[in-house]
Amino acid sequence: MRFISTLIGVLAISMVTVTPAQAQAKLNVMTTTEDLAAIAREVGGDRASVESIARGYQDPHFVEAKPSFILKLQKADLLIAVGKELEIGWLPPLVTQSRNGKIQPGGDGYLDASTRARILDIPTGQVTRAMGDVHPQGNPHYWLDPENGKVIARSLAEKFSQLRPADRAYFGEKDWQQLSLVRGMADAFFLPTTIVACPTVRETTGLALSSRNARLTAPDRERAATLHRVLTSAATTDEVIHRLTDAGFAIDYVADRDGRRLAAVRLAGVRLIDNVPLPGAA
């Protein structure tokens, strides 16, 4: 968990420079337990202010419903509950009395963290009080399973993105491998950031804009436009390599991956990269 937390922090910091300059206000998040608060802080980072109603030393089954909790819930953008009736003895009155429509069950600002989790010890047959401390909906301590922790983090990331859709990072499609890597990291580490792909900007000749283009002579710059023309017209990667080699390019790689044709080449000592969608690719 500590290793994952560190990576999430590093990735979040690395993406700060590409988030919008005019950031939205922090999400005001309330959770019912400190464990949920810890996950929410890791996922939300500096985009969320997180507080737990129950303290770590308290039994989450039995929490004294204080008026101060109502005041905090009134200001909440999001309430995250364990669910499975863990908080049934104290949470419903607090939520109702807060009169905060956002965090009422079913509202956009209410999240039952158990929704996608794998729940154990679900009793079969009729459940009665005579059976003692039995949870009719299964063991509500599901978050102690590390795999369920990942599921909860995923749910939180989706909810944060829903409530703060302007938290986005923008990456150009020209460097498709970087874009794919960042998407993968944001997905793997549950970063509440929408990765937006920006179409490649091109010169009238089709050459992808790049600061490296300034290092080309005028004739080589015209010749560099061959890269895009060949990528879009060749039937196979072998044909791409053959035609570009004949045109004087040194090939670093040409490959078809995930619906894109990717290439990195060198012309007059300048490295150029580009990619195009394959015909029929979504």
Is the same domain home to 258 and 138?
Answer: no
Answer yes or no: is 79 within a domain. Answer: yes
Out of 165, 185, 220, pick the residue that ends a domain: 165
Query: What does the pLDDT profile of the chain (282 residues) look like in tens digits?
Result: 444 454 444 444 444 444 443 456 789 999 999 999 999 998 888 889 999 999 988 888 889 989 999 999 999 999 999 998 889 999 999 999 999 999 999 999 999 999 888 877 666 666 555 555 656 667 787 878 888 888 888 888 888 878 877 667 778 899 999 999 988 888 887 776 778 888 898 988 999 999 899 899 999 999 999 999 999 999 999 999 999 999 999 999 999 998 999 999 999 999 999 999 998 765
Answer yes or no: is 32 within a domain. Answer: yes
Task: Encode burial over 128-143: b for 16+ CB neighbours within 10 A, e otherwise.
Answer: eeeeeeebebbebbbb
Is the same domain home to 156 and 236?
Answer: no
DSSP element (H, E) containing 114: none
Is the same domain home to 140 and 243?
Answer: no
Domain of residue 246, CATH code: 3.30.1300.10
Is the same domain home to 159 and 219?
Answer: no
Is the same domain home to 151 and 223?
Answer: no
Residue 252, classed as helix, strand or coil, is strand
Tokens of 247: 């045109």
Is the same domain home to 231 and 150?
Answer: no
Answer yes or no: is 2 within a domain. Answer: no
Neighbours of 226 (CB within 10 A): 20
Is the same domain home to 150 and 241?
Answer: no
Is the same domain home to 35 and 154?
Answer: yes
By C-alpha distance, which of 144, 89, 80, 92 is closest to 118?
Answer: 144
Out of 150, 165, 180, pick the residue that ends a domain: 165
Distance CA 153, CA 54 (A): 20
Answer yes or no: is 7 within a domain. Answer: no
Answer yes or no: is 92 within a domain. Answer: yes
Tell me the backbone φ, ψ of residue 55, rounded to 5 degrees.
-85, 160
Domain count, the chain: 2
Is the same domain home to 260 and 127?
Answer: no
Answer yes or no: is 244 within a domain. Answer: yes
Is the same domain home to 158 and 270?
Answer: no
Range of the domain at 65: 24-165
Out of 131, 165, 199, pick the residue that ends a domain: 165
Is the same domain home to 236 and 140?
Answer: no
pLDDT of 117 reads: 84
Residue 50, classed as helix, strand or coil, is strand
Answer yes or no: is 8 within a domain. Answer: no
Q: Kindly tell me the burial class for residue 122, based on how many C-beta atoms sit within 10 Å of its own C-beta (0-12, 13-18, 19 or more).
A: exposed
Spacing of C-alpha 240 from chain mean position: 35
List 111's β-bridge partners, or say none. Answer: 80
Amino acid at 132: G
Domain of residue 78, CATH code: 3.40.50.1980
Answer yes or no: is 13 within a domain. Answer: no
Is the same domain home to 34 and 149?
Answer: yes
